[in-house]
Amino acid sequence: MYTNSKTRGSNRVPNYSSGNRFSGNRNGSSGRNFSSRSGGRNKRKSSYEKIDVSRFISKSTVIEKEEIYLPTHTFSDFKIDAKLKLAIANKNYIYPSPIQDKSISHALEGRDILGIADTGTGKTAAFLIPIINKIISNRDETAIIVAPTRELAIQIETEFNDFVRGMKIYGVVCVGGAPISAQIRSLHRECNIVIGTPGRLVDLIKRGEIDLSTTRSIVLDEADRMLDMGFINDITFILEKTPTDRQGFFFSATLPKPIEKLIERFTSNPVKVMVKTRETSKNVEQDVIRLNNGADKIDTLCQLLDKEDEFKKVLIFSEMKHSVEKLSVELIKRGYKAGSIHGDKRHNDRQRTLLRFRKDEINILVATDVAARGLDIPEVTHVINYEIPQTYDTYVHRIGRTGRASKKGVALTFV
Ligand code: AMP
């Protein structure tokens, strides 16, 4: 069991704020757009699973022999436009990741792709590269990318913008929690790609602002997460609006039955690519924190956070939006460099907080599962489950935020 001894640390500082680098910007011009002519939903299916606490403990920090993947392609082998090759090189991508290596050449031939892969595998570039290449060769091409959360949608947009810099190819992010009127205005301007969350996309389709009848590519990113979040009807609705002969890219970490059925219905003979994701427990040391009767939970947490040499970058999970907010407010009050992301926060606030966490301006981020889903935040040293997650699957996703890129991480769960 994880024990805590008290040391005062400088994880505490006064408040400050910073800017936001995540603003999508482009010039208005006429050309390809999605517009021909409700209600963002966020239904959440709740299924409580009784989890054996022993599953939160794992001292087995065996140093794994790193498996070295030898790609069969280089990026220059792919039959893609030279400008795109240059953009890939500018991102310092030298070798394709396994999912890119195994799927891009098939995708370039127009095949449907089913990728069983998690965040961190390079799946975003695996679908963006073939789609952008299509657009370069035909400026009338459009694509829709459906992602479970605003943060993931914006992460995809950031990578998209890196790839299309200077090419006059534009994307629009349409997510819930951000003003719909601005999104509608953007849709009326030139854009080839819409990246959005299911509820908002359905809303815009129903309003006649997104017309998918000529869309040539659709991506479902983290399909299993969208199922978990109650979006199955929305994603089915979106898929039904696309032509039957469009190309589909389906990515999912797992393949639950409803997603399997969806893929069967909406793809034809897809190329299946499975990328072994690292067993989280291999890189993440897991332990529990038992609160003795009468011990104050937040004091116990602070005793851990005060060990600043260890707890350098900490992601804390709590179940409900209000408990996340309450905890982060209390930590800030106690002088810690903390912030929070959850569904009740304004979109821009969430982006700003994430950026501050990425840039180490704050080192403690308190989050709900939904808000933190799919985020690629490097160098998180500790994940703390301030409240036990509802399912073991959620637990695995949470602790997967640490121990990335072969680094060791620690996951602690209050029980
Ligand atoms: P993703 O799974 O798409 O979220 O990507 C995870 C991380 O890997 C992101 O930070 C990407 O920028 C990075 N990445 C993707 N493909 C490559 C590549 N071929 N070489 C190096 N880094 C990559």
pLDDT at residue 290 in the model: 85
- From residue 223, alpha-carbon distances to 114, 131, 301, 403, 413 in Å are 11, 19, 34, 24, 27
* 335 Ramachandran zone, left/alpha/beta (phi>0; psi -120 to 50): left
Q: Is residue 5 part of a domain?
A: no
CB of residue 71 inside a 6 A radius of ligand 1: no
Take atom 6 of ligand 1 and give the residue whose Cα is closest. 120
Q: Ligand 1: which atom is nearest the Cα of residue 159?
A: 12
Q: Is residue 14 part of a domain?
A: no
Domain span including residue 106: 53-57+67-274
User: With a cut of 50, which residues of the chain have pLDDT below it?
Assistant: 1-10, 13-31, 37-46, 60-67, 278
Atom of ligand 1 nearest to the CA of 117: 2
For residue 167, tell me if it sits in a domain.
yes
**Per-residue pLDDT tens over the stretch 283-336:** 788 888 888 777 789 999 999 999 988 899 999 999 888 999 999 999 999 999
Does the beta carbon of 331 lie inside 6 Å of ligand 1? no
**178, 196 contact by CB (below 8 A):** no
Which residues are paired to 385 by β-bridges?
317, 413
Q: Is residue 18 part of a domain?
A: no
Nearest ligand 1 atom, CA 97: 19
Tell me if residue 146 falls in helix, strand or coil. strand
Ligand 1 neighbour 123 (Cβ under 6 A): yes
Check residue 349 and give its pLDDT.
86
**Nearest protein CA to atom 15 of ligand 1, as residue:** 122
Name the DSSP class of 315.
E
Q: What are phi and psi of 180, to 5 degrees?
A: -70, -30
What beta strand segments (E) does 125-279 contain?
A: 143-146, 171-174, 193-196, 217-220, 247-252, 271-274
Residues 309 and 405 in one domain: yes
Bridge partners, 146 (sequence order): 196, 220
Give the residue from 274, 301, 331 where a domain finishes. Answer: 274
Domain count of the fold of the chain: 2
Query: For residue 119, is it within any domain?
Result: yes
Fill in the amino acid letter for 151. Answer: E
Q: CA-to-CA distance for 334 and 13, rounded, in angstroms?
A: 9
Q: Which atom of ligand 1 lies at the shortest distance from residue 119's CA? A: 2
Pick the last residue of a domain from 252, 274, 296: 274
Q: Give how far Cα 29 sits from Cα of 52, 144, 190, 204, 334, Å.
A: 57, 20, 6, 21, 50
306 and 233 within one domain: no
Please work out whether the CB of residue 376 comes within 6 Å of at least one atom of ligand 1. Answer: yes
The CA 330 to ligand 1 mean position distance, Å, reads: 35
Query: How far is the centre of ligand 1, averaged over its atoms, from the C-alpha of 119 (Å)?
Result: 9
In this structure, are 238 and 314 located in the same domain?
Answer: no
Atom of ligand 1 nearest to the CA of 124: 3
Please, how many CA atoms are within 13 Å of residue 154, restricted to the half-sphere of its CB? 25
396 Rama class: left (phi>0) / alpha (psi -120 to 50) / beta: alpha
User: What CATH number is associated with residue 96?
Assistant: 3.40.50.300
First to last CA, the chain: 11
Q: Does 139 map to a domain?
A: yes
- Ligand 1 center from residue 405 Cα (angstroms): 11
Q: Please indicate whether residue 96, judged by its CB atom, sits closer than 6 Å to ligand 1.
A: yes
Q: Which two tokens stand for residue 31?
A: 């050309």
| Full-model pTM | 0.64
CB 113 within 8 A of CB 107: yes
The reply to whether 16 falls in a domain is no
**Domain edge (last residue) among 250, 274, 298:** 274
Q: Are 290 and 2 in contact (CB under 8 A)?
A: no
Return the pLDDT at 404. 65
Please indicate, yes or no, if residue 177 is contained in any of the structural domains.
yes
